[in-house]
Structure 1
Amino acid sequence: MRIRLAIAIVCFVFSAAVFSQSPSLKKQPTTITDKAHPQQVQSNAQTAQQKMDKALQFSKEGKYVASIELYQDLLKNHVTELKKDIALQALVYLELSFSHSSLGNQKEEIDYVEKAIEIMESHFTQIKETDYVTAYNNLHYYYGEYDDSKGLQQTHQKFATYFKARFKAKEASPVYYYARRVLRKMEVIAAGLKEDPVKAIAIIQGFRDEIKQSPAEEKNADWSYLLASYSSLCDYYNYNSTDHAAGIEAGTAFLQTAMVLKDSFNIMLSHSKLANQYRELGNYKKALYHVEASLQSFQFPPTSMSRFSLETMKAMNMASLQDYTPAMAMVERNILSLLQTHIGPNQQILSFNPQLIKQLNNSRYVNIFASSALIFIEAYRQQKKPLYLEKAEKLVSTASLLFGEYYKKGSYNSTLNNLHKKIVEGYLFVAIEKYPNAYLPKKRILEQIEKNTSFHLAKSFELQLLKQNTPIAKLMHELQWQQQQKEFWSQEQIEKGKTVDYSTKIQEQVVAIKKLEKEIAEKQKAFTNFTLANYSVDACMQLLQPQQAILKYYVATNHAFRVLITHDDIAIQQLGTVKALAEKVNEYNALIKKPNSNWKPLSAALYEQLVKGIQPQQLTIIPDNFLNYLSFESLYNAATKQFLVNHFPITYNYSLSLWYLHQKNRNTTDKAKLAAFAPDYTQTVYKNASLAKLPFAKEEAEQVAGIFKGDSFTGNAASKENFYDQSNKASMLHCAAHTVLYDNNFNESCLLFNQAQPLYLSELYTKAMPLEMVVLSACNTGAGKLVEGEGLMSLSRAFTYAGVKSTVVSLWQVPDKETAAIMVLFYQYLNKGLNKAAALSKAKQDFVSQYPLYAHPYFWSGFILTGNDAPLTSSSGPWFWLVLIGAVLLVVSGAYFLFLRKKAYFSS
């Protein structure tokens, strides 16, 4: 799947359709229950209705700030009236969401529409059905805006269930036709998510046929949604496909249909989709033609994000044609026009206050500022004018601020990743050019970048740490149960419709969930060491010892960077273009997996480019993008004729935030307990494929278990059941087993136990395993599908998600005889008290020394340690005591010798 394109053009089709389909608010009958003051109650209800009518009018006029103020007033001052009139209460939240969305505030739009749906499904018999359809329509649109594929799928599934249960047969009612067109649009997007454009096209064609039979009064709205479906098909080709010919064909069909219908908005939109395709092909002149056609096709309102986005796209195509002066002039006019619209007149790029536009936390606004910054940077590269760099810094810092408001601190998607890469590109270039020797500005820039990186895995690990606290774990378990109950009864309500009322049950769950969430939040305050509450770049630097360093890589939009973080400094370096570096790394990865290849020249070149000049005693590497596949230990220093592994121990990590949690939760115990597993694959078949025997696996498991006086589970005992059982008893698990990887469905990737019992990667995302270490001494356990912004979806990552503090995995298939030798050496050093990174480093060096015929990096460099590198034991066995006794004897003998010298001196 490709990343999002440089510019995402706004699609207001849903918004426009939603607005046209929103039912006009009718005055609701009021039940008078307050006998003491009946007139006051009636008056309050009338006042609430009048405010709602006025707010809706403001919204129609585009006065969204004024409408939001009135909706908030209703929620604050008319609680009693809204409790009695559920339909009105739900509509307030629904319209609040719409108004925030119209202002470009994605932070609020999803929360408010979800609240509206919660109210509706908790009082299903009291709602207006058209409002309910609108709510799901809007929620699906908003999830699409945020590029939340999981949210899109869940919304589509729930709405499809409602549609099937509610409409057993075709109805001649407005709500049926409204729900049908909403469902068809969802189906087209769902087909795109499954990367099935053929099905999407078939759904569109079927929808066209249905429209022919629609009543005359429904046809306009149906055609509007059909055009929106074409737009979604184009989005699939723009964002998730490299089939540009098919993308251009879909865009052309979209344009032709819009022209037949004389729909100027969709003519504009279809041109923008075609511009995206041609830009991706590198045909900037053709892209520029379609952007200009798009701008001329529609009369944009003053606050239109579409116009701002299109003009930014036009400037980017001009810059790609190296026409920088008009590109910068257009960008500046565009930005100033945007600022005037949202702040007021007389704004300047270098002096405006970004805090005044924080509410524009929308992907397109982030993109406008980030892309504009890159245009100024490209001009600066050519002309070296400091003013361009100043403007680029202001624009990229604004983009970063808006991104921080927009990002929900969950997992990254392609839109988030693409936007973040642009910000990283601009920010790190500014840091290098403007602040090469200024520590504080560099730290400020890095803090801002890291504040916006993906927190998904770190937060998942944080959750598992908190679950180790029994009271919190109990509350979390209860919360999960209540959430499941609420979901169950909500689903039952959707299927039963208004024939059965489950509102009381659902409301009980809502109250219980809110109470539990509050209790959990209170208890978490006492466990800040287990959380990211105090996380920052500065906090990480304070945790670094003088001999330690973190080397973090960033693969941005056009260039790759490395940032070296020590306890007292930050050094930033540009590494070259992404394209050239990716080609070099991919070529090297292919070479290193061939035992007889000539790997040295390319390894030496990558050493010079990626790690030269770094001299800590211990290094943590946080790779990015394709660098996740690289074994840095194998990089060759031609000057010293040594591998990087000979210079210092190396640990890997997924993010700086996760590294922080690992450091805050370092444990060294006196009684590390190990359980080792080695299945027997004799005559074993998994999914019609025979599994190769691992003749050295049983011996390996028994040896490593013996080193730590642990238990070995071999043959039939190496079962999935025993593995889960030992995950609750041991502190370390070792698996000498096969793995199966599926690039297109990484959740089906698995570790195979005896009789080919699969432990799926997806299962680990639901388990809690507070283990110190898991060693996967198997093929490709560190490999997996690369999800940009998130890293490799591998078994190693899945175990980290489950709460395992460190993993040792292999990046490629290694013969099990050599694997066994390295593993035994590794555990021997662990038992001597070395930390994990040093133990693995020494094991690799000893292996090369003892088996010089296997010095090729293929045999030893694929094993990497990820996570916490703390020693596993503080009492380090006979070797430790021999060294300690020797040291004591040396001190005693030295003291005695000194005593004899002094005695001789004074006697003379």
Structure 2
Amino acid sequence: MKLKRFILSLVLITLCAHAQALSLSAEQEEQLKLAETYSSQVEQYYQQGLSKKALPLAEKAFHIRKEILGEKHPDTLSALTNLSLIYNTLYIHDALPLLKKGYRLRKEVLGEKHPDTLNSLSHLAYAYIKRGKINQAIKHYETFVTTVESSDISAEKLKEWAHNYFLLSSLYTALSRPQDAFQLAENRSAHTFSETQIITANDGATLLPADAVFISYLTHKNEVLAFTLQANGSLTAHSLGKIPSLKDDKKDTQKFSRTLGKRLLEPLKDIIKDKQQWIISPSGALAFIPFETLRFEGEKEPVIVQHQISYVQSLSVLAMLQERDKAYKNLKRRGSLFAMGAPIYEGVDNTKLPTEADIVHSGSDSAHALRQLNLKWKNLPGAEKELEQLSNLFFLKKHHSRIFKQADATEANLQRFNRSGLLAKYRYLVFSAHGYLSPQVPELSAIVLGQVNNPEGIDGYITAGEWAGYNLKSDLIVLSGCETGLGDAVSGEGVMGLPYALYVAGNKNTILTLWSISDDVTVEFIKTFFIKLKAGVPQVEALTATKREFIKKGGAYSNPKYWAAFVLYGI
């Protein structure tokens, strides 16, 4: 009976809608077409910053739709939103009533959790900021965040709304509410990396050694907030304002050490300078910056000389890593080293095909997307030297090590080892192969194995999404050939996302390179690092000591463009 009533209600709704459509006169139909044309022109003018030209057209589109369709019709509400946004640009005081009305109507018609309603709410909150009504803005942004956190919102939409988290965190910072500002940053990170449990600053402080400081950054475009947390529970929040463009060559470390050191570290100097260990959680394009190279104002040496630096995605991830560290200390009978390197790349067709954005927007999955991109990979002759050095350090029989190279360095062999459970029996995994860190589409970040003579269904790319299907029990994965996929770093999720994907697979720490460096330097760096690791030096300390040795060597090796590329995500 209920089903019949439901079907009948659907029929009535359809008939009513059809009746409304039929009731429109030819003149009204023409008027609505004209309103559609106006709306298209409004959007073009608005995107070009020509709000004054857009305003009269936006008013006409709104009034036509309101008169014919009614004020609650979706098309009318869209026209109202366009009109209110233009008013918010030109006449702030006149915009507020329109934004309030738009939010109220969308909430009534669509419900409070609908994306369009939430968009209206965020526009209203921002209008209060522009009018200087900070408490009202905070109230509305808090409603926005609370609603989002309790809703089933797509990851794409959450990314689109990330700026709202930043703006609210900025308001909290301005009002000296560091706890609220910091927790909001953690919540934003949770959306990116799917943490199962978000911890508070008070709980996180208990995880930090006395000589350590946790430094977290939150970015929106080129605006930056910074937070510091110490073992004694002291938490600070800082608005660092706008930083220089990060589209320059990130290997120009001299420039970055001067400009970014002053902007990113100097405001925190009194808190962090006396702390030996810095645990940094970057955000956005800052994930492409090797903080080790930065300098305090007036200092001749980079901060790596005095401070030990590691990276994590968030405080909550730090807690998860420490739990894993405790669990893995009880593991027994693990082999020392599993390595794959020097895959065969050349021999594939390198015709330039569509961009990342083109392919992802077309709906292709990650594997198809990477094949369509048909990225150019050159063979890595230096990778064989790296594997040879590792085999000399970890004798295959004594350390139960396995090394695959050349034609054997394939995704098929990696899958085979994983299916047999053998991949979970190694402490260190090394991939001396190309790594692809996608700044635009994090799910495309991948380790690139052999590209020649792969069987059906094997493309040689182990993407961030595919690592979830692997079973690891490793303390460390080293990716010695990573490089960013694009010249302009617009997001750091590709850098931070790949180590997190490896964590999901069962790994603890990850070392990767932010840019490609010469084969000889890589071989020497990896050898020096693993000698220390084999001697029992903890991973972060071993990496720090290796970098300091390179600095002291002088000559070409002391140049930051060689040693600064290696960064460690973990503890």
User: What TM-score bracket applies, with the shorter chain setting the length?
Assistant: 0.7 to 0.9
Shift of 1:554: 2.1
Q: Alpha-carbon deviation of 1:864?
A: 0.9
For residues 15-39 of structure 1, what are the alpha-carbon distances to aligned partners after superposition, in whole Å with 9 as ceiling and x for unaligned? Answer: xxxxxxxxxxxxx6xxxxxxxxxxx
Q: Is the 8 A contact 1:784 1:793 kept in 2?
A: no
- 1:632-688 CA-to-partner distances (Å, cap 9, x unmatched) read 011124544221111222111112221221122213356453211113447433543
Structure 1 residue 758 and structure 2 residue 460: aligned?
A: yes
Structure 2 residue corresponding to 1:425, chosen from 148, 166, 170: 170
Structure 2 counterpart of 1:270 = 79
Which residue number in structure 1 is paired with residue 369 of structure 2? none
Q: Where does residue 184 of structure 2 map in the other structure?
A: 449
Equivalent of residue 3 in structure 2, options 62, 65, 86: 86
Mapped to 2, the partners of 1:665 and 1:720 lie a distance apart of 26
3-state SS of paired residue (1:849): helix
1:60-79 → structure 2 map (5 Å cutoff): none
Q: Partner amino acid for 1:363?
A: L
CA distance in 1, matches of 2:319, 2:335: 23
* Change in CA separation of 1:731 and 1:257 when aligned onto 2, cut-off 3 Å: same
Who is 1:633 aligned against? Answer: 292
Contact residue 431 and residue 479 of structure 2 kept, 8 A: yes
CA contact under 8 A between 1:765 and 1:798: conserved in structure 2?
Answer: yes
The corresponding residue for 2:370 is none
CA distance in 2 between partners of 1:607 and 1:261 (Å) = 50
**Structure 2 CA distance for partners of 1:665 and 1:821, relative to 1, 3 Å:** same
CA distance in 1, matches of 2:391, 2:52: 57
Distance, in Å, in 2 between the alignment partners of 1:673 and 1:422 is: 47
Q: 1:825 to 1:129 in 2, by over 3 A?
A: farther
For 1:228 and 1:800, the matched residues in 2 are separated by 52
1:650–1:672 Cα change, 3 Å: farther
Q: From the superposition, tell whether residues 791 and 760 of structure 1 become closer, same or farther in structure 2 (CA, over 3 Å).
A: closer
Determine helix, strand or coil for the equivalent of 2:163: helix
Q: 1:753 to 1:303 in 2, by over 3 A?
A: closer
Distance in 1, Cα, partners of 2:128 & 2:58: 34
| Whole-angstrom CA distance in 2 between matches of 1:728 and 1:225 | 63
1:130 matched to which residue of 2? Answer: 10
Separation in structure 2 between the aligned mates of residue 632 and residue 675 of structure 1, nearest angstrom: 30
Match of 1:100 in 2: none
Q: Could you tell me which residue of structure 1 aligns to residue 364 of structure 2?
A: none
In structure 2, the residue matched to 1:828 is: 531
- SS in structure 2 of the partner of residue 561 of structure 1: strand
1:651 to 301, 304, 310: 310
Aligned equivalents of 1:783 and 1:793: distance in 2? 16
**Closer, same or farther: CA 446–249 of 1 in aligned 2, 3 Å:** closer
Tell whether the 8 Å contact from 2:509 to 2:568 is kept in structure 1 after alignment. yes
Tell me the alpha carbon deviations over residues 156-188 of structure 1, each in whole angstroms, 9 at most, x when there is no partner: xxxxxxxxxxxxxxxxx959969xxxxxxxxxx
- Matched residue type, 1:767: G
AA in 2 matched with 1:752: V
List gaps (5 residues or longer) in structure 2: 352-374, 453-458
User: Paired residue for 1:772?
Assistant: 475
Structure 1 residue 262 displacement after superposition: 4.0
**Quick check: 1:244–1:277 contact (8 Å CA) kept in 2?**
no
The match for 1:730 is 426
Q: Contact 2:31 / 2:64 at 8 angstroms: preserved in 1?
A: no
Paired letter, 2:475: E
Give the C-alpha shift of residue 226 in structure 1.
7.7
SS in 1 for 2:209: coil
In structure 1, the partner of 2:383 is 697
Residue 853 (structure 1) aligned with residue 553 (structure 2) = no
- How many residues matched? 515
SS across alignment from 1:413:
helix
- Offset, 1:360: 13
The yes-or-no answer on 1:538 pairing with 2:229 is no
Q: Is the 8 A contact 1:458 1:657 kept in 2?
A: no
Offset, 1:404? 2.5
Instruction: Using the TM superposition, give the Cα deviation of residue 719 of structure 1 relative to its aligned residue in structure 2, in angstroms.
Output: 0.7
Identity of aligned residues (%): 18
Per the alignment, residue 799 of structure 1 pairs with 502
Which SS does the other structure have where 1:665 is aligned?
helix
**Bigger CA radius of gyration:** 1
Q: Is the 8 A contact 2:304 2:548 kept in 1?
A: yes
Structure 2 residue aligned with 1:407:
149
Q: CA deviation at 1:795?
A: 3.4
Name 1:623's counterpart in structure 2. 282
Q: Check conservation: 1:271, 1:290, Cα contact below 8 A.
A: no
Distance across 1 between alignment mates of 2:41 and 2:391: 56
Q: Which amino acid aligns with 1:761?
A: T
* C-alpha deviation, 1:808, in angstroms: 1.2
* 2:299 equivalent to 1:564: no
Indicate the SS of the match to 1:778: strand
Instruction: Tell me if structure 2 keeps the 8 A contact 1:130–1:175.
Output: no
Do structure 1's residue 609 and structure 2's residue 263 form an aligned pair? no
Shift in alpha-carbon separation, 1:809–1:360, aligned structure 2, 3 A = closer
Task: Determine the structure 2 residue equivalent to 1:396.
Answer: 138
Residue 564 of structure 1 aligns to a residue whose secondary structure is strand
Whether the 8 Å CA contact 1:681–1:693 is kept in 2: the answer is: yes
| Aligned equivalent of 2:217 | 553
1:69 match: none
1:425–1:707 CA distance, 2 compared to 1 (3 A): same
Alpha carbons of structure 1 residues 429 and 716: separation in structure 2 relative to 1, 3 Å: same
2:405 paired residue number: 714
Give, in whole Å, the separation in 1 of the partners of 2:102 and 2:317: 45
Residue 423 of structure 1: how far off its partner (Å):
0.8
Q: What's the offset of the Cα at 1:861?
A: 0.7
Deviation at 1:600, TM superposition (A): 5.3
- Give the deviation of 1:235 after TM superposition: 11
The correspondence for 2:342, drawn from 671, 679, 690, is 679
| Structure 2: distance between partners of 1:276 and 1:304 | 16
**1:828: Cα distance to partner?**
1.7
Rate the CA distance shift 1:175–1:751 in 2: closer, same or farther, 3 A: farther
Look up the match of 1:363: 118
TM-score under structure 1 normalisation? 0.48
2:355 aligns with: none
Secondary structure, aligned partner of 1:777 = strand
Secondary structure (helix, strand or coil) at the match of 1:654 reads coil
- The 1-side partners of 2:52 and 2:428 are apart by 50
2:55–2:86 contact (8 Å) kept in structure 1:
no
For 2:496 and 2:404, locate their aligned partners in 1 and report how far apart those are by CA, in whole Å.
27
Q: CA deviation at 1:806?
A: 2.0
Higher strand residue share: 2
Q: Distance in 2 between matches of 1:394 and 1:246?
A: 26
SS at match of 2:161: helix
Q: Which residue of 1 aligns with 2:358?
A: none
Deviates more, 1:411-420 or 1:770-779: 411-420
Q: Whose relative contact order is higher, 1 or 2, with alpha carbons under 8 Å and at least 6 apart?
A: 2
Gaps of 5+ in 1: 1-27, 29-84, 92-126, 135-172, 179-210, 308-356, 380-391, 432-440, 463-531, 870-908
Deviation at 1:830, TM superposition (A): 1.7
Distance 1:365 1:425 in 2: 20
> What letter is aligned with 2:336?
K
TM-score (norm 2): 0.73
Residue in structure 1 matched with residue 251 of structure 2 by the alignment:
593
Partners of 2:477 and 2:461 in 1: CA distance: 14
- Report the Cα offset of residue 413 of structure 1: 2.0
* CA offset digits 1:250-306 (Å, max 9, x no partner): 994894486388447467753642553686xxxx43x559848x949x9x6995469
Report if aligned partners of 1:561, 1:573 keep a CA contact under 8 Å in 2. yes
Higher helix proportion (structure 1 or 2): 1
The verdict on how the C-alpha distance between 1:268 and 1:545 changes in structure 2, with shifts beyond 3 A counting, is closer
Flag the 1:732–1:288 CA change in 2: closer, same or farther, 3 A: same
Partner SS state of residue 814, structure 1 = coil
